[in-house]
Amino acid sequence: MNTVETLTAPAIEGDRWPMLEATPTGSASRVTAAAAAYLFRTATRRLGISVSEDGQPADIVLHRPEELYARLGRHGLIGLGEAYMTGAWDAPELGDTLTVLCRDLEGLLPGWAQRLRGVYERRRGEADVNTPENAREHIGHHYDLSNEFFALFLDPTMTYSAGLFSPLPSAEDLAVAQHRKIDRILDEAGVGEGTRVLEIGTGWGELALRAAARGARVTSVTLSVEQAALARRRIAEAGFDDRVEVDLCDYRAVDGTYDAVVSVEMIEAVGERFWPVYFAKIDEVLAPGGTAVIQAITMPHDRMVATRNTETWITKYIFPGGILPSTEAITEVTEEHTRLRVRSRLSFGHHYAETLRRWDTALRDRAEEVRALGFDEMFLRMWHFYLEYTRAGFAADYIDVQQLTFTRDEVG
């Protein structure tokens, strides 16, 4: 069991957490906080989630309930995450509790509260749109935290995407599951001796290394300075720098012709406005008879449509500019703007839940090393909430991860 040790509020340093506003005050805030308290108690009681305000064991332990309700009243689920960051509440088994919530996200609010969403939900602004300029900043916000930080919880392959286990549940080493995932992508794309491969989104280079080991020639593009530096070093150390080129550039600037295009969990950072551009670029550079394989985190289409313009806790703190597509949206965009057609699909969302569980365990086990890198308690709580909230989404089947294989309709 993961126990929560921090019972007091982490210090909110204005220069380090400018987005984390102070607890709302005033008469209007008291009204919305009272409504949030009623809704919170009603929802947790209906879902069978125990709540304690006196430190007794429970699924949710409230240390500062007034702060939690004030934040919920102001910004809904964003406030739930912010109140966790500040230590206003804890959960001994955070992921399990969030999974229960995720299974009934749409049922948490009664109809009258649903109709008032416009009062507390924030709308996305132009700064969230992934123009070439914004995209570099958004990618850097997350992926350039430091390679040393990510190395603390990722497996030795430095792969930051879902593993593919066999079987599940499994005690299998995560690196084995990551290689199985990568190898399936390369197999689907037909990557072998002499294959010209474009990878959109380098990560830390493991897919490029696996492709080069098959005899392929790889061009990999990324906007992360930190990832590019480590990927180049790993590729050189493996002796494949004559077969792999890592370019620090936007996918929109790619040219050339490739037999295979692969992209692992990159589309989530593209943004809805640029999905047609993303897939049109793949269509443009794919050689006749070529194959593209995209690994994408997806969400149900109705939820994507309902939340596409709404700021969430994830987009505010973890992935600015991000949005998860639905499989219907991907099909619609590719059929309307490209000659690409989905030929096969593999869904393995529960494998991502297991991957995230392992990452979170590793990160919590190495919390002191995270602090030694200069990150504070708020950062640790933010990442614990992020990893467990995301795990809950997969465990509850609210979101999914899929490998989508495309070939081009040369007649269409």
pLDDT in tens, 39-53: 999 999 999 999 999
Lowest mean pLDDT among 55-64, 127-136, 278-287, 378-387: 127-136
Give residue 106's pLDDT: 66
Tokens representing 378 are: 């708020």
Higher-pLDDT residue of 151, 77: 151
For residues 359-386, give the mean pLDDT. 96
What number of other Cβ atoms are within 10 A of residue 359's Cβ?
A: 21
For residues 360-377, give the mean pLDDT. 96
For residue 181, CA distances in Å to 8, 186, 291, 316, 342 come to: 41, 9, 17, 29, 19
Confidence check: pLDDT of 1 > 50? no
Strands 400-408 and 258-264: unpaired
Q: Does domain 132-408 have CATH number 3.40.50.620?
A: no
Q: In whole angstroms, give the CA distance from residue 290 to residue 304.
A: 30
Higher-pLDDT residue of 55, 6: 55
Residue 369, Cβ density class (10 Å: 0-12 exposed, 13-18 middle, ≥19 buried): middle
178: nearest Cα among 217, 210, 200: 210
Name the H helices within 48-116.
Answer: 65-75, 77-85, 94-102, 111-115
Give residue 3's pLDDT: 38
Confidence check: pLDDT of 78 > 70? yes
Confidence check: pLDDT of 9 > 70? no
Order of strands, edge to edge, in the sheet holding 51-52? 51-52, 60-62, 89-90
Give residue 207's pLDDT: 98
Q: In whole angstroms, give the CA distance from residue 25 to residue 261.
A: 52
Confidence check: pLDDT of 311 > 80? yes
Q: Structural domain boundaries of the chain?
A: 27-121, 132-408
Give residue 143's pLDDT: 87
Calculate the average pLDDT of the chain.
90
Higher-pLDDT residue of 212, 56: 212
Spatial contact of 209 and 244, defined as CB atoms under 8 Å apart: yes
Name the H helices within 116-171.
Answer: 117-120, 132-143, 147-151
Q: In whole angstroms, give the CA distance from residue 240 to residue 393.
A: 38
